[in-house]
Chains A and B, each alone.
Chain A
Amino acid sequence: MTQLTDLTLAGIRDGVAKGEFTATEVAGAFNAAVAGAQDALNAFIVTTPEAALAAAAKVDADRAAGQTLGKLAGVPIGMKDLFATKGVQTTAASKILEGFVPPYESTVSQKLWDAGAGLLGKLNLDQFAMGSSNESSAFGHVISPWRRPGDTTALAPGGSSGGSSAAVAARIVPAATGTDTGGSIRQPAAFTGISGIKPTYGRCSRWGIVAFASSLDQAGPMARTVTDCAIMLEAMAGFDAKDSTSLDVPVPEWAASLSGDLRGKKVGIPREYRLDGLNEDVAKSWDAGIAWLKEAGAEVVDISLPHTQYALATYYIIAPAEASSNLARYDGVRYGQRDLPNGAGLQDMYAATRAAGFGPEVKRRIMIGTYVLSAGFYDAYYTRAQKVRALISRDFMAAFEQCDVILTPTAPSAAFALGEKSNPLDMYLGDVFSVPASLAGLPAMSVPAGLDRNGLPLGLQIIGKPLDEQGVLNAGLAIEARANFVAKPNMWW
C-alpha cells in the first residue's frame, strides 16, 4: 500500500470516500509523522493529535451512516497559529499571547472543520506574521526540511507561513493554512517546493485571524498540488458578515473548472521584474515558465508595471502603520501576558507588558508605524504611500487590458540559511516580487518550477485579475504539468 502520508489532499479525500482506507488511519499516520518530525523541524507550536482523531472518527461514522461527505472529509491539516481555534492555544508565535485560548473559532478554520478536515496542530510562524524566514517566532525557528546536498546547514522555510511550508514539504501534513500580507504564503511555498495561493483580498474572511495589516491580510491554502489548493480554497472562501471587507460574491467551483489549456489566453511578462543582477537560476526558471505557458497555448506579451520599484517602500510604510494600530490591543488587560513591575501604574504596565511580550522585529515595525502615523509625518509618509499604492494598483489594471495573467518569479533567490540575513532591510528586499500583488489586492499563487544549482526549489508566481482565481489556478496547473517537479526533501529528521 502507498504510504498514506505521501498522498495528496485529493488522494486522501477520494481514498476515504471510496473506503480504501479510513480517515482514522490517515489521521494516525499523520499524527505519527508530526510527532516524528517535531524535534527536528519545530514546525508546530502545539500539536493536537486527539483533535485530528476526533474529526476523523466523525468522518468515518458519517461515511458508515451513508451521509454526504464534505469537500475535505478525512483530510487532516495544519493550521497556522494565527487563526483563532476554540479551546486550542493561539499565539501568533508571540510571548504576549502565550497561553491565550480563544473562546471562539475563526471563520476560515470553522469552514474547514465543516468541510470535514481535522486539526493536526497549530503551525509555527514569524511572530505576528512579520518576517520572511521564520526567525522571529518566540517559539524557536522552523527548520526547512530541505538541505543543500552534502550540507547540513539549517535553511529557512520562508515566512511568515514557515511552519506551514515546512510541514507540507516534509509530508507531515497534506495541506495547511497560510496567511499572506506581503508574500507570506507565496514565498515560503517557493522556498519549499510546494504550491500556495493568496486569493483576492476579501475572498476569505479575516474574522478570527490575528490581525497584522488589515488592508493586506488574506488567508489561503498551501499544499503540494494546484488541484489541492483549489479544493481547499473552495472550503476556506466565502462571504462573512463579521468581516466588513469580506466580498459578498459566490465561491466558484475552482477545482471542477481547472484546465491547463491556455489557448486564447495572454500571459504578461512585466519588464520591471527583470532586475539588474537577477539571480541566474531564477531568471532561467522564469524563462522556462514562459516556454511552458506558450506550450500550453498562451500568447506571451511584454507588459510594463512602471511603479514596481516603489512597491516595497510603500509596503514597509503601510504594513507597519496598520500593524502599530492593530497591535495596540495587546495591553496586558484583556488577554495574554501581563508584566506588572512593583508599584507600576497603568501606563508603566502597558509599556512593560509590551516590552516583554513583543519580539525585536515586531517592536521595530510598531515603532516605524507609530512614527509614520505621528503628527507632522502622517502626510509625508502614510498618505503618500497610500497614493503610490493607488498608482501601483492602476499599473496592474492597465496591464490587465493587455493580458489575462502575469508571470514572474516568486522570490529573488532560493531559500537562504537561517541567520544569513541579519539586517532587517536585506530581509525586506526579499519580498520584491510578492509585495506588489498584495498592495493591489490581487489573487496570486506560487507553484514549484524546478531546482537551482544547489538543489533547492524555485517558485514561479502567477498574478491574476481581481476575483480571477480560476485564471491563476489554470496557469498554475499548466506550469505544474510541465515542470514535472517531483523533487522532495530527503528525510533526515
Chain B
Amino acid sequence: MSVDTATVAKIAALARIKVTEGELSAMVPELNGILAWVEQLAEVDVTGVEPMTAVIPNALRLRADVVNADPLTGGDVRDAVLANAPAAEHGFFGVPKVIE
C-alpha cells in the first residue's frame, strides 16, 4: 500500500500536526519508503497466531477503592497539576473558545 499527498494530509490532520505543502510533499516518499519496507510482514504465515499484547505474562491488578491511597497519584494537588500549564486561569486549564 502506498500513500499519496491527500492521504498524508489526512494522516497529519488525524495526528493533529499542521504541515506545510512543502513538508507534505517531502513526507510522501519518506513514508512510502518505510511502508514499502514494512510490507515484508505480509509474507509471514501468521495463521492461528494470537496477537501479542504482553511480553511477560502479567495480570492487571486492581487497587483498593480508597481515595488518595497513594499520595503520589492521589488528588488534592490542583496547583501542582496546573503549575506547568501554558495558560491556567481560576484553577482551570485555559483553552481558546470551543463554542461559537
Residues of A whose CB lies within 8 Å of any CB of B are 99-104, 200-202, 215, 241-242, 244-245, 247, 307, 309-310, 313-314, 316-317, 324, 328, 331-338, 340, 344-352, 354-355, 358, 363-364, 366-368, 370-371, 374, 377, 380-381, 383-391, 393, 423-425, 428, 439-441, 466
Residues 52-95 of B contacting A (Cβ, < 8 Å):
52-56, 58, 60-61, 63, 70, 72-73, 77, 80-81, 83-87, 93, 95
Taken together as a complex, chains A and B put the C-alpha atoms of A440 and B72 apart, in Å, by 31
CB neighbours of B8 from chain A (8 A) = 367
On whether the beta carbons of B41 and A385 are closer than 8 Å, the reply is yes
Taken together as a complex, chains A and B put the C-alpha atoms of A201 and B30 apart, in Å, by 31
Apart from A316-B38, A368-B35, what 18 extra A-B contacts exist at CB < 8 Å? A103-B77, A242-B72, A316-B37, A333-B95, A337-B86, A338-B87, A364-B30, A364-B34, A367-B8, A370-B11, A371-B3, A371-B31, A377-B1, A380-B42, A391-B49, A393-B52, A424-B34, A425-B37
CB neighbours of A337 from chain B (8 A) = 86
Taken together as a complex, chains A and B put the C-alpha atoms of A280 and B20 apart, in Å, by 44
Residues of B whose CB lies within 8 Å of any CB of A are 1, 3, 7-8, 11-19, 27, 30-31, 33-35, 37-42, 44, 46, 49-56, 58, 60-61, 63, 70, 72-73, 77, 80-81, 83-87, 93, 95-98
> What are 26 A-B pairs at a CB distance below 8 A?
A99-B84, A100-B84, A103-B84, A201-B55, A241-B63, A307-B44, A313-B37, A313-B41, A333-B95, A334-B81, A334-B85, A351-B16, A354-B15, A354-B17, A354-B18, A355-B18, A367-B12, A368-B31, A371-B35, A386-B52, A387-B50, A389-B51, A390-B49, A425-B33, A425-B34, A441-B55
On whether the beta carbons of B54 and A245 are closer than 8 Å, the reply is yes
CB neighbours of A351 from chain B (8 A) = 13, 16-18
CB neighbours of A387 from chain B (8 A) = 44, 46, 49-52
CB neighbours of B53 from chain A (8 A) = 215, 386
On whether the beta carbons of B11 and A374 are closer than 8 Å, the reply is yes
Taken together as a complex, chains A and B put the C-alpha atoms of A377 and B1 apart, in Å, by 10
Q: From DSSP, what is the main secondary structure of chain B's interface residues?
A: loop
Taken together as a complex, chains A and B put the C-alpha atoms of A389 and B51 apart, in Å, by 8
Central interface residue in B13, B19, B49, B63, by most chain A CB within 10 Å: B49
On whether the beta carbons of B86 and A350 are closer than 8 Å, the reply is no
CB neighbours of B96 from chain A (8 A) = 340, 344-346, 349
Q: How many A-B residue pairs have CB under 8 A?
A: 172
Taken together as a complex, chains A and B put the C-alpha atoms of A102 and B87 apart, in Å, by 16
CB neighbours of B35 from chain A (8 A) = 368, 371
Taken together as a complex, chains A and B put the C-alpha atoms of A310 and B33 apart, in Å, by 16
Pick from B17, B27, B33, B55: contact of A355, CB below 8 A. B17
Taken together as a complex, chains A and B put the C-alpha atoms of A201 and B86 apart, in Å, by 35
On whether the beta carbons of A334 and B93 are closer than 8 Å, the reply is yes
A317 and B41 in contact, given A103-B83, A335-B84, A364-B27 (Cβ under 8 angstroms): yes
On whether the beta carbons of B11 and A371 are closer than 8 Å, the reply is yes
A346 and B84 in contact, given A215-B54, A387-B49, A388-B46 (Cβ under 8 angstroms): no
CB neighbours of B12 from chain A (8 A) = 367
Pick from A99, A313, A340, A374: contact of B14, CB below 8 A. A374
A340's closest neighbor in chain B, by CB? B96
Taken together as a complex, chains A and B put the C-alpha atoms of A351 and B9 apart, in Å, by 12
- Distance to closest chain A CB from B15 (angstroms): 4
CB neighbours of A245 from chain B (8 A) = 54, 56, 58
On whether the beta carbons of B49 and A314 are closer than 8 Å, the reply is no
CB neighbours of B37 from chain A (8 A) = 313, 316, 425
CB neighbours of A374 from chain B (8 A) = 11, 14
Taken together as a complex, chains A and B put the C-alpha atoms of A348 and B56 apart, in Å, by 40
Taken together as a complex, chains A and B put the C-alpha atoms of A424 and B26 apart, in Å, by 13
On whether the beta carbons of B70 and A241 are closer than 8 Å, the reply is yes
CB neighbours of A350 from chain B (8 A) = 16
- Distance to closest chain A CB from B88 (angstroms): 9
CB neighbours of A363 from chain B (8 A) = 15, 17
On whether the beta carbons of B27 and A244 are closer than 8 Å, the reply is no
CB neighbours of A336 from chain B (8 A) = 84, 86
A315's closest neighbor in chain B, by CB? B38
CB neighbours of A242 from chain B (8 A) = 70, 72-73
On whether the beta carbons of A201 and B93 are closer than 8 Å, the reply is no
Taken together as a complex, chains A and B put the C-alpha atoms of A346 and B97 apart, in Å, by 7
On whether the beta carbons of B1 and A388 are closer than 8 Å, the reply is no
- Shortest Cβ-Cβ A-B pairs, 5 listed: A441-B55, A386-B51, A338-B86, A335-B84, A351-B18
A425's closest neighbor in chain B, by CB? B33
B10's closest neighbor in chain A, by CB? A374
CB neighbours of A371 from chain B (8 A) = 3, 7, 11, 31, 35
On whether the beta carbons of A345 and B97 are closer than 8 Å, the reply is yes
A324's closest neighbor in chain B, by CB? B15
- Distance to closest chain A CB from B34 (angstroms): 6
Taken together as a complex, chains A and B put the C-alpha atoms of A335 and B52 apart, in Å, by 33
CB neighbours of A383 from chain B (8 A) = 51
On whether the beta carbons of A367 and B15 are closer than 8 Å, the reply is yes
CB neighbours of A200 from chain B (8 A) = 56
B15's closest neighbor in chain A, by CB? A370
Taken together as a complex, chains A and B put the C-alpha atoms of A379 and B52 apart, in Å, by 13
